[in-house]
Amino acid sequence: MQPYCLIRPAVTDDAKDIASIWYEDAARAFGEAPPTRDAAEAFYLKRLKTIEPPFGIWLAVEGSSPVGWQALQPVRNNPIHGERWAESSTYVSKCAQNRGVGRMLIRFANQHAARNGIELVVGLILRTNIASRRMVESEGWLVVGTLPRLSGQDEYEYWVYTPGRDVTRT
């Protein structure tokens, strides 16, 4: 099903909506109580104020209602790849799940990465999140490993997307 959404750049006024969507699933995803909503909002407000192109945070809206968001944030672990590697975060409000919003956001991220010189996009997906795993795989992502289980958490799989490259597991 094709969602009736618009994806637009997020602005600082969107921090509360971004935190609310994230908060809906945080306890399940991370295996522990999330920070307060105020702390999550402060976290995303700081990100919105400091993120710079080619990275960004985008909001999916239906009419005036936020239904999901996508972030490509820098992986700045060294000066060589810092501006060309990104971590992807995709969250969809429970009211909009299974309607194509997540796929639309992942496609947007893939296209943005390809157009803006991002060479590698990484993401973590809960191993139990079958729908998300199938969706990113169908959009060209490849699972490259599993993170060790931490206390209280389900296992995460480590996925990568390489814009413009055909990468296969060896």
**Which pLDDT score is estimated for 28?**
66
Higher pLDDT: 80 or 66? It is: 66
User: For 73-130, what is each residue's pLDDT tens digit?
Assistant: 998 766 666 678 999 999 999 999 889 999 999 999 999 999 999 999 999 998 888 9
Of the listed ranges 60-74, 127-141, 146-160, the least confidently predicted one is: 146-160
Residue 67 clears pLDDT 60, i.e. is over it: yes
Tokens of 121: 């996009």
Task: Assess whether the previous peptide bond of 79 is cis (omega < 30° from 0).
Answer: no
C-alpha 99/C-alpha 108 separation (Å) is 16
Contact 26, 44 (CB under 8 A): no
**Which pLDDT score is estimated for 53?**
93
Whose CA is closest to 29, among 156, 149, 161?
Answer: 156
Residue 168 clears pLDDT 90, i.e. is over it: no
Tokens of 140: 């060209």
Q: What does the domain layout of the chain look like in residue ranges? A: 6-120
Fold for 6-120, please state it.
Answer: Aminopeptidase (3.40.630)
Contact 105, 69 (CB under 8 A): yes
**Which pLDDT score is estimated for 31?**
63
pTM for this structure? Answer: 0.89
User: For 17-56, what is each residue's pLDDT tens digit?
Assistant: 999 999 887 766 666 667 888 999 999 999 999 999 999 9
Q: In this structure, what DSSP letter does residue 34 have?
A: P
**Which pLDDT score is estimated for 79?**
66
The residue with tokens 């750049």 is: 9
Band of residue 141 on the pLDDT scale cut at 50, 70, 90: very high
C-alpha 117/C-alpha 86 separation (Å) is 11
